[in-house]
Structure 1
Amino acid sequence: MAKLIFLGSGSAFTVGANNFQSNLLLVTEQNHKLLIDCGSDIRLSLHAVGLSYLDITDIYISHQHSDHVGGLEYIAFSTLFDPRCQKPNIYLSKDVSSNLWDRTLSGGLRFIDGDIATINTFFEEHKIDRHGHFIWQEINFDLVKVCHVDNGFYLMPSYGLFFTLAGVKIFVSTDTQLCINTNGKYYEQADIIFHDCETSHYQTPVHANYEELAKLPITIKQKMWLYGYQPGLLPDAKKDGFCGFVECGQVFEFSLVQNHQLIV
């Protein structure tokens, strides 16, 4: 039985012991693990479910904000200097890769004793072409280009994922504005959607917010789980037609039972 574990379900600035940043762990029936994003509190969120860097062999990175890459330094140093570890694989779009080392990781990782490091010192990079995909443990992951931050000069590279587990089509938005006009086919085709959702009173333009998501057709909302929200009182998502808000540590299991998909 494959499962998705939400190591956290909060926003980038989630604080306190009750939630962490929205990083996911996909675990196959054979117990292979793919970490979907690796934020700055990954040490704590892994520990909360009884895991550590020793369990991280494969990582997908959607974009370069710290709640998605801030924990890579911890993974990099820990695995490099622990002889029990092999070099982790890291999967990411080429345009994310081109900036990840020079603009995000090199400041803390470049200098090691006796050498000048590169990203290949720590990770096996798997760069994904434009409109591309990657295959991990026989699962095909399509990268979905989303509009997260558009500064008017260029669009920050950011990618969600569309994949199938046990016959269930899954769309994980990662961080995005509501891109129903450009990515509507993924909302329609998915059997279950995990969508980031801003709930702050002081909304930003770079995330889908609850009010606009609530205006989506019921056929989409009834298969949508919300995550990436801010601390505080949450709206009644089930009353508004959604599956609900994902809780920290919540597990979604996917299996085939007598040719029927079962989601727990």
Structure 2
Amino acid sequence: MIHLLFLGSGSAFTVGDGNFHSNIFLITETGKKLLIDCGSDIRFSLYKEGFCHRDITDIYISHLHSDHAGGLEYVGLSTKFDPQCHKPNLYLSHDVASDIWERTLSGGMGSVEGNITNLESFFDVYSVDDNRLFSWENINFELVKTIHIDNGSYVMPTYGLFFEVDRIKIFITSDTQLCYENLKNYYEQADIIFHDCETSKYPTPVHSHYKELVKLPHQIKSKIWLYGYQPGELPDAKKDGFFGFVKRGDKFPIGNK
């Protein structure tokens, strides 16, 4: 059996409510951990759950926003100069990998005393090609391309994850607009869905808002946990047919053992 531990369940701008960015530990029964996204407050959310940088050995990055990739500087520098650590493995789509150094990390990590550095100075990089598949601890992951930000001429590379454990199929959307019709196959196949959910009074066009999600078919809503929401009072998700809202620190067992 594996567990999904939500180190946080909030949005990019979550502050002041005891919550953190929606970063997730996937933990095997042997204690191996895959960090799904690594936001800029990762050092705080790790500490809150009794972990530290030494517990991060494998990382998946969905896209380049700071609540998903901003903590890589902390992890990369902390593990590089800690003699107890090896380089973490970094899994990400090739189009995210091609941008992450120059557009996100090089400013703070591009040189250390006596050396010019690159991404491979800090991480063992596994760039996932167009087949969008990678394997970790005998679990096969499919990268699911979603639409998060589309400015008309450029679609920001953003990928959720779809995987199976003990015949239980999991879909984690990461940040996404509601793309139900385009990704209907994943929604229907999944047994459990962890879905991006904006709850702000003034909806943005780049996330799935609760008012949209509540219109999904009942059979889809009944397997959705909502996360990535803003601080403040939340709707009654269970009453509306969802599993509910994920809380920081929630741990979900997945599997039959």
Question: What is the RMSD computed on CA atoms of the aligned residues?
Answer: 0.7
Give 5+ residue unaligned stretches, structure 2.
Answer: none
Aligned 1:79-98 pairs, distance under 5 A: 79-98=79-98
C-alpha distance in 1 between matches for 2:166 and 2:28: 10
User: Counterpart of 1:256 in 2: which secondary structure?
Assistant: coil
| SS in structure 2 at match of 1:253 | strand
Q: Which amino acid aligns with 1:90?
A: L
TM-score between both structures, scaled by the size of structure 2: 0.99
Look up the match of 1:183: 183
Deviations 1:121-148 (A, max 9, x none): 0000000011421000000000000000
Once the two structures are TM-superposed, the CA of residue 111 in structure 1 deviates from its matched residue by 1.2
**Which runs of structure 2 are paired with 1:235-250 in the superposition (5 Å)?**
235-250=235-250
Query: How much does 1:18 deviate?
Result: 1.6
Q: Secondary structure at the match of 1:198?
A: coil
TM-score, normalising length from structure 1?
0.96
- Whichever residue aligns with residue 50 of structure 2, its letter is G
Measured after TM superposition, the shift of residue 44 of structure 1 is 0.5
Aligned residues: 257
The letter for the 1-side match of 2:162 is F
Tell me, in whole angstroms, the C-alpha distance in 1 between the residues paired with 2:28 and 2:220: 27
User: Per-residue CA shift, 1:180-221, capped at 9, x if unaligned?
Assistant: 121110000000000010000111000000000000000000
Q: Deviations over 1:136-188 (max 9, x none)?
A: 00000000000000000010000000001222100000000001121110000
In the alignment, structure 1 residue 8 sits paired with structure 2 residue 8 = yes
SS of 2:18's partner is coil
**Does structure 1 residue 123 correspond to structure 2 residue 136?**
no
CA distance in 2, matches of 1:15, 1:157: 26
Hey, what's the Cα distance between the residues in 1 that align with 2:54 and 2:199? 34
How many angstroms apart in 1 are the aligned matches of 2:7 and 2:224?
A: 18
Partner of 1:146: 146
Where 1:185 maps in the other structure, the secondary structure is helix
After superposition, the C-alpha distances for 1:73-99 in whole angstroms (9 at most, x for unaligned) are 000000000010000000000000010
Report the AA paired with residue 73 of structure 1: E
Aligned 1:67-216 pairs, distance under 5 A? 67-216=67-216
- Structure 2 CA distance, aligned partners of 1:117 and 1:123? 11
Question: Which moves more between the two structures, 104-113 or 16-25?
Answer: 16-25
Is contact 2:17–2:231 with CA below 8 Å preserved after alignment? no
Deviation at 1:17, TM superposition (A): 4.9
1:60-118: per-residue Cα shift (whole Å, max 9, x none)?
00000000011000000000000100000000000000100011100000010001000
Percent identity over the alignment is: 61
Task: State the match for 1:31 in structure 2.
Answer: 31
Tell me what 1:262 maps to. Answer: none
Off by >6 Å, runs of 4+ in structure 1: none
The answer on whether the counterparts of 2:26 and 2:34 sit within 8 Å (CA) in structure 1 is yes
**Alignment partners' CA distance in 1, 2:73 and 2:202:** 31
